[in-house]
Structure 1
Amino acid sequence: MNSADTSSHSESSYEVFKLNADGSSREARTCKPTLSCVQILQMGEVAKDLTAGTVGGAAQLVVGHPFDTIKVKLQSQPHPLPGQPLKYAGAMDAVKQTIAAEGPRGLYKGMGAPLATVAAFNAVLFSVRGQMEALLRSQPGAPLTVDQQIVAGAGAGVAVSFLACPTELIKCRLQAQSALADVGAAGVVVKYGGPMDVARHVLQSAGVRGLFKGLVPTMAREIPGNAAMFGAYEAIKQFLAGGQDTSGLGRGSLIVAGGLAGASFWAFVYPTDVVKSVIQVDDYKNPKFSGSINAFRKILAAEGVKGLYKGFGPAMARSVPANAACFLAYEVTKSSLG
């Protein structure tokens, strides 16, 4: 009697197999015939997503934060009075002025907040996406279609919005303070000493709700943005692989797919990000904008459509290398975990 027959006639144990995309067995584990074995495998997958997502997020942040700083400065600089020039003539001018006033460290202003929460943010993003993938699969181990990846990305976007909003608010207020401050003989007036100082000011001004200022445009960015990004990532991988089985793709292909997927995020939702930024750096006591729609209308009235694309160049310049680093680090880390 072979082992399979023994398992079928014994209540002591049975084997659970994990399948590759091609249907071959990749992992087997002997378990008691209870639901606990399935739960153990599911917990293992969640742990892998948590770990790989954290590593991917850290790589994305280190590569992309200077670009993000310039993007926010360009987005949040006030519209000048008639006859007056903009504070920053463009991305390179913003880089030069930032380095001149704050040194190279100024390009990493506001990095503390996302760095402190990158583990939670990317853990939620990739683990929720992973769990939605499991729900959407037609059978264990089956690759998802592009449409299914879009749905999984949108679901992950809902979850991360509640983490992204307060983190983005603190980051943006730190990054934008030099663009919004008056410049006098003493140089740039710095309002905040760091992420915790921003949080303290916000809590004093508006309470806990103040940390979630801009939640609506944050969700309007994260849900369709992540749907587009994960859908594009899967579509590009399948195109490069010549079919649904993308397990054989090399690191170069993953870099290309990740970079283009990141670009698709910003190309799809950039005006929403501009609205989010101006709302989150707006004053609590004397706000310029009453809400997302009001901010959208005022930007259009004052600056036209181009006002909704301020900082688009740095955002796109950031998205390709930052997301290439993120997806590559995620895939390599998860693969190394087995």
Structure 2
Amino acid sequence: MSSSDGLDVMAAGAFAAVSSEIVIHPLDTMLTRMQSATYTSVYKTANGSIKPTLFRGLYQGFGPTLLAGVPGSTAFFGTYEASKAGLERARTAGYLPAALPQSFDHVVSSACAELVAAAIANPAEVLKQNAQVAKGAGRDVSVRILKQFYRRPSTLWAGYTALVASHLPGTCLTFGLYESLKEELLRRAVWKMDEDMIRQTKVSAISAAAAGGLSSLFFVPIDVVRTRMRLSVGEQDGTIRQFAMNVRLGPAGLLSSSVPPRHGTLAVAQSIFRKEGITVLFRGSGLTCLTAAIGNGLYLGCYEGGKLYFGGSRLD
């Protein structure tokens, strides 16, 4: 990958991160609240109906997301494209078995990219998700959360193993499906040269939405565990616990079921299963699938469109 191609990839990755996050963040906020331990007591009434609180402050935590989301996105696509190009050269030179399918390159490249991007994105996710369920709204929430984690910066990587556990298989599956679907749709498509950029962007968006929505369904329980691990870090300093104490607890007393901070991934999953039941591990499945479909469609659609635009509509 040349330096000019690298700049195109970085610009397209940044564009994709900003464009998709503006649309997805409100849905992600609702999903985080649904998967939190205080969902029943804070966001639902005694008769089971949803409180308006669930829909307030949907852009809380948006700042930290962009702060690490843009470099995380550029790092992801930079690593992905570089790894894919390296594997292609190895394949051409005969270092890879001829029988090895092309999807192998996509899976390995996306795995390398995810490991790099997760290290950058995890701190932003911790800040964002704690801000999404914290008391208050607006800039004060983000500032308060930043001050809280400034005292213990190492906790910004809480849930990294769960992030990798949930994202790595999902990313590999998504990109394997995405590249295969895109290749098949592009192979069957027939259009004029001046329509290439728009049509390829549409094909990328459709392929990504289908791949992302389908693959996300397999990893909802891990996503719930990861969310609980991140929120438990905020609870340790009282940010979320104070919010929950100001609200009357429901009959289930879900405040007491909050996962203790600093527990491992397996311990957190066992705690949720033992205290709240297995159905909690699948809470928000529909919204997860919808968010993943929309998010992946926008994200990869904007990336592919941006890459073509910034690269002067050069075809891959």
User: Normalized against structure 2, the TM-score is what?
Assistant: 0.77
Tell me, yes or no, if structure 1 residue 59 matches structure 2 residue 19: yes
The structure carrying a bigger helix percent of its residues is 2
Tell me, yes or no, if the aligned pair for 1:255 and 1:327 is still in contact at 8 Å. yes
Contact 1:70 1:94 in 2 (8 A): no
The CA deviation at 1:170 is 0.4
Deviation digits for residues 74-121 of structure 1 (CA, Å, limit 9, x no counterpart): 0003376xxxx77437xx96583334xx4xxx1111111112222201
State the shift of 1:241 in Å. Answer: 3.1
Q: Which amino acid aligns with 2:265?
A: S
Secondary structure at the counterpart of residue 300 of structure 2: helix
* Corresponding residue number in structure 1 for 2:168: 223
| Contact kept in structure 2, 1:213 and 1:279, CA below 8 Å | yes
RMSD, aligned CA: 2.9
Asked which structure has the greater RCO (Cα within 8 Å, sep 6+), the reply is 2
1:318 maps to what in 2? 291
Opposite residue 131 of structure 2, the aligned amino acid is L
**Which residue in the other structure is 2:150 paired with?**
203
Distance in 1 between residues matched to 2:31 and 2:77, nearest whole Å = 25
Larger Rg: 1
Is residue 328 from structure 1 mapped to residue 279 from structure 2 by the alignment?
Answer: no
Q: How many residues align?
A: 271
Query: Is the contact made by 1:259 and 1:320 (CA closer than 8 Å) also made in structure 2?
Result: yes
Match of 1:194? 141
The TM-score with structure 1 as length reference comes to 0.72
**Does the 8 Å CA contact 2:43/2:54 hold for their aligned counterparts?**
no
Structure 1 residue 215, shift from structure 2 partner: 1.4
Aligned mates of 1:44, 1:93 — CA distance in 2:
54
Equivalent position of 2:314 in the other structure: none
Where 2:236 maps in the other structure, the secondary structure is coil
Match of 2:86 in 1: 135
Letter in 2 for 1:234: E
| 1:222-250 superposed Cα distances (whole Å, 9 cap, x missing partner) | 2222111211111211232348xxx9653
Provide the C-alpha distance between the structure 1 equivalents of 2:296 and 2:12, rounded to a whole number of angstroms. 14
Q: 1:94 to 1:319 in 2, by over 3 A?
A: farther
Alignment gaps of 5+ in structure 2? 94-100, 239-258, 312-316
Aligned pairs for 1:177-326 within 5 A:
177-178=134-135, 193-204=140-151, 207-242=152-187, 250-282=200-232, 283-284=235-236, 288-289=260-261, 290-326=263-299
Question: Structure 1's 93 and 154: CA in aligned 2 closer, same or farther, altered over 3 A?
Answer: farther
Is it true that 1:46 corresponds to 2:6 in the alignment?
A: yes
Residue 186 of structure 1 corresponds to which residue in structure 2?
A: none
| Contact 2:64 2:127 (8 Å CA) reproduced | yes
| Alignment-derived partner of residue 108 in structure 1 | 59
% identity of equivalent residues: 21
Unaligned runs of 5+ in 1: 1-40, 179-188
Q: CA deviation at 1:330?
A: 0.8
Find the aligned partners of 1:176 and 1:111 in 2 and give their Cα distance.
13
Note if contact 2:118-2:160 (Cα within 8 Å) is conserved in structure 1: yes
Secondary structure (helix, strand or coil) at the match of 1:193 reads helix
2 CA distance for matches of 1:238 and 1:285?
49
The CA distance in 2 between the partners of 1:227 and 1:163, in whole Å, is: 18
Aligned equivalents of 2:5, 2:187: Cα separation in 1: 27
Distance 2:145 2:203 in 1: 40
Out of 30, 37, 42, the residue aligned to residue 77 of structure 1 is 37
Out of 99, 118, 121, which is 1:164 matched to?
Answer: 121
Q: Say if 1:77 and 1:176, in contact at 8 Å, map to a contact too.
A: no
Q: In the alignment, is the contact (CA less than 8 A) between 1:192 and 1:198 conserved in 2?
A: no
